Amino acid sequence: MLAKGQTVIQLMEKFAPKSLAVENDKIGLQLGTLNKEITKVLVALDVTPEVVDEAIALGANLIVAHHAIIFRPLANLRTDTPMGALYEKLIKHDIAVYISHTNLDVAEGGMNDWMADLVGIQQPKPLEELQSERLLKLVVYVPKSHHQNVLDAILASGAGVIGDYSHCSFNTEGLGTFLPGEGTQPHIGSPGKLERAEEVRIETVLPESLKGKVVQAMIKAHPYEEVAYDLYALEQKGKSYGLGRVGKLAQPKTLAELTQIVKKGFDVPAARVVGDGDRLIKKAAVLGGSGSRYIHHALRQGADVLITGDVDYHTAHDALMAGLAIIDPGHNSEKIMKREVAKLLGQMLADSGSETTVHASEPNTEPFRFV
Number of helical H runs and strand E runs in the chain: 11, 15
Please say which residue, 193 or 339, places its beta carbon nearer to Zn ion.
Answer: 339
Stretch that binds Zn ion, among 170-178, 196-204, 232-240, 283-291 (CB under 5 A): 283-291
Nearer to Zn ion, 32 or 289 (CB): 289
C-alpha span between 286 and 294 (Å, rounded): 10
Residue nearest to Zn ion (CB): 289
When asked if residue 291 is in the footprint of Zn ion (CB under 5 A), the reply is no
Query: What does the alpha-carbon distance between residue 366 and residue 159 come to, in Å, rounded to a whole number?
Result: 45
| Nearest of 162, 150, 241 to residue 207 by alpha carbon | 162
Give 77's Cβ-side CA count (13 Å radius): 8
Give the neighbor-by-neighbor strand order of the sheet with 325-328: 170-178, 195-207, 125-143, 229-254, 280-290, 305-309, 325-328, 272-274
Q: Which stretch binds Zn ion (CB under 5 A): 24-32, 47-55, 186-194, 333-341?
A: 333-341
| Distance in Å, CB of 23 to Zn ion, minimum | 17
Q: Could you tell me how many residues of this chain bind Zn ion (CB under 5 A)?
A: 2
State the nearest-atom distance from the C-beta of 101 to Zn ion, in Å: 7
**Minimum distance from CB of 308 to Zn ion (Å)?**
10
Cβ nearer to Zn ion, comparing 61 with 112? 112
Residues 252-271 that bind Zn ion (CB under 5 A): none
SS3 202: strand
Q: Is 124 in the site for Zn ion (CB under 5 A)?
A: no
Query: Is 289 among the residues that bind Zn ion (CB under 5 A)?
Result: yes
Main-chain phi, psi angles of 290, to 5 degrees: -100, 110
Nearest to Zn ion of 122, 364 (CB atom): 364
Binding window for Zn ion (CB under 5 A); candidates: 211-219, 222-230, 237-245, 331-339: 331-339
Whichever of 99 and 325 has its CB closer to Zn ion, that residue is 99
Burial class (CB in 10 A: 0-12, 13-18, 19+), 187: middle
CB 341 within 8 A of CB 104: yes
Q: How far is the CB of 66 from Zn ion (least distance, A)?
A: 6
Cβ distance to Zn ion smaller for residue 207 or 289: 289
List, in sequence order, the alpha helices (H) in 202-333.
Answer: 211-221, 255-265, 295-300, 313-322
| SS3 state of residue 126 | strand
Closest CB 215 distance from Zn ion, rounded Å: 38
Site for Zn ion in 60-99 (CB under 5 A): none
* List of residues 6+ apart from 224 with CB closer than 8 A: 143, 186, 187
State the nearest-atom distance from the C-beta of 99 to Zn ion, in Å.
11
Cα→Cα distances 287→16, 23, 331, Å: 17, 18, 10
- Provide the strand spans (E) within 28-105: 28-31, 37-38, 40-44, 62-65, 96-99
Distance of closest approach, residue 331 Cβ to Zn ion, in angstroms: 6
Asked if residue 229 lies in contact with residue 330, where contact means CB atoms within 8 angstroms, the answer is: no
CB of 334 to Zn ion, least distance (A): 5
- Which one of 213-221, 250-258, 282-290, 298-306 is the stretch in contact with Zn ion (CB under 5 A)? 282-290
**Amino acid at site 278:** D
Cβ closest to Zn ion, residue 111 vs residue 121? 111
What φ, ψ does residue 296 adopt, rounded to 5°? -75, -35
Residue ranges in 195-214 that form contacts with Zn ion under rule CB under 5 A: none
Of 265 and 275, nearer to Zn ion (C-beta) is: 265
Based on CB atoms, which residue is closest to Zn ion, 104 or 218? 104
Stretch of 48-56, 108-116, 285-293, 360-368 lying at the interface with Zn ion (CB under 5 A): 285-293
Nearer to Zn ion, 113 or 334 (CB): 334
- The footprint of Zn ion (CB under 5 A) covers 289, 334
